[in-house]
Amino acid sequence: MLPSRSTRIRACRPVPGISAAVKLEGLGDSDFFVSNNTVAFNSGAGADGMLVSGISSDSFVLANNVLWSNGSGTGDDLIISQGAPVILNSNHIGRSQLFPAGTINVGTSSSDPGFIAFNNLRPRSDASIRDSGVPATGQLAHDLDGGPRVQGVRIDRGAYEYSGVFRNGFE
């Protein structure tokens, strides 16, 4: 199993030959668990946020992720290729291609996530990604800032949990 939890990927340019900031590729009997990541504002012509690719014996679970505004307005925030079964649970996705048949998609939203700023991907107090996630198997106890993972009614989507207690000295 490859877990990816509580990471932030922002303002990257694609590597030649790979059109996405994050590429998850199974080669058979691979299990991917990807939760509470923020992939946003990655640029470049045709750049995408996350590309998921595999074969029928692979499995992918994506939960509580924020995939937003990748590709300078021309890319998709999530692309899922045919083949592997994918479960999407409570993600926040800006632009995406149609999901292949067999994709399980529960609780996906796509409005403005409510980041503090382009260079600060923490949720604002009025952010749509606050208190909107679901408990996920193997989720970390802390967010990317080291604060408790759940600080409100429910877990927040993305790499950061809204603290509301002036973590940076201001709100």
State pLDDT tens for residues 56-110: 999 999 999 999 998 766 679 999 987 888 999 999 999 998 888 889 999 999 9
Q: How far is Cα of residue 147 from the mean position of the Cα atoms in its chain? A: 19
Q: Is the pTM of this model over 0.85?
A: yes
pLDDT in tens, 7-66: 777 666 656 666 788 888 888 898 899 999 999 988 765 678 898 998 899 999 999 999
Burial of 170 (0-12, 13-18, 19+ CB in 10 A): exposed
Q: What is the DSSP string of 105-130?
A: EES-B-S---EEETTEEEEPTT-TTT
